[in-house]
Amino acid sequence: MPNTQAPRTAGKHRRLVLITGVTRGLGCAMAKEFARLGHVVIGCGRSVNALRELESGLGDAHRFDLIAVTDDARVRTWASEVVASHGAPELLVNNAAQVNRNAPLWEISAPEFDVVIDVNIKGVANVIRHFVPAMLKSGRGVIVNFSSGWGRTSSAEVAPYCATKWAIEGLTRALAQELPRGMAAIPLNPGIIDTDMLRRSFGDAARNYPSPQQWATLAVPFLLKLGPKDNGKPLTVA
């Protein structure tokens, strides 16, 4: 996939934004909105057609790779390639996640439980493990880990997902205590948005919520304002 150097225009700083899970939903809408505002986007996901559409729609300054965040070795290689081609991300958004099918915990099989844990917790740790060293070297950067309302409250039939998002809140706040001054790690509840994920949990009632595109016009400026002052604070897009 394209490997072009991120351009910078004199007088206008283009942020280098890395987003996991850009093939649909919030990740896709954020990628398009950051690009529309002139920022450079690095993204990943597992759906090759959607990645190619982003490449052709957004152009060569950006980079989209076929990566499952659960594959630690592949994330490591991806990080070294991205840092060589574009530099260290200035904003790293851990967005990729999955939700379990609605069911009481005792009806969730071990493999179903594992997928949610592997993507939502271990996938986030993999991305942090391989991208944050370059951010530390550059001495700056904001890491936003997508949490959920279900990372702060709970509901029946989403116990595995709740477990992962409560984990993200703790993991992110501990990471915030490890980062040097000038950087930030933030657990972010995006709100409630009509995506494939929400339809899996809410069914048709998902249509009562904003589209990812509507959400991104608020969320992207919100994300661009985050900085060291927000380190360790659980925030909600509003």
Ligand X SMILES: NC(=O)c1ccc[n+]([C@@H]2O[C@H](COP(=O)([O-])OP(=O)(O)OC[C@H]3O[C@@H](n4cnc5c(N)ncnc54)[C@H](OP(=O)(O)O)[C@@H]3O)[C@@H](O)[C@H]2O)c1
Contact positions vs ligand X (CB under 6 A): 20-27, 44-47, 68-70, 95-98, 119, 123, 146, 148, 190, 192-193, 195-198
Q: In angstroms, what is the minimal distance from the CB of 36 to ligand X?
A: 18
| Residue with Cβ nearer ligand X (20 or 231) | 20
CA 224/CA 38 separation, integer angstroms: 12
| Residue with Cβ nearer ligand X (107 or 196) | 196
Q: In angstroms, what is the minimal distance from the CB of 132 to ligand X?
A: 18
Q: In angstroms, what is the minimal distance from the CB of 156 to ligand X?
A: 17
Determine which one of 78, 146, 150, 161 is catalytic.
161
CB-nearest residue to ligand X: 25
**CB of 175 closer than 8 Å to CB of 219:** no
| Residue with Cβ nearer ligand X (47 or 138) | 47
| Residue with Cβ nearer ligand X (53 or 230) | 53
Q: In angstroms, what is the minimal distance from the CB of 11 to ligand X?
A: 34
Selection from 235, 236, 15, 40 nearest residue 140 by Cα? 15
Catalytic, 161? Answer: yes
Q: Which two tokens stand for residue 176?
A: 């915030």
| Residue with Cβ nearer ligand X (119 or 176) | 119
Q: In angstroms, what is the minimal distance from the CB of 180 to ligand X?
A: 26
Task: Give catalytic residues, as residue numbers.
Answer: 161
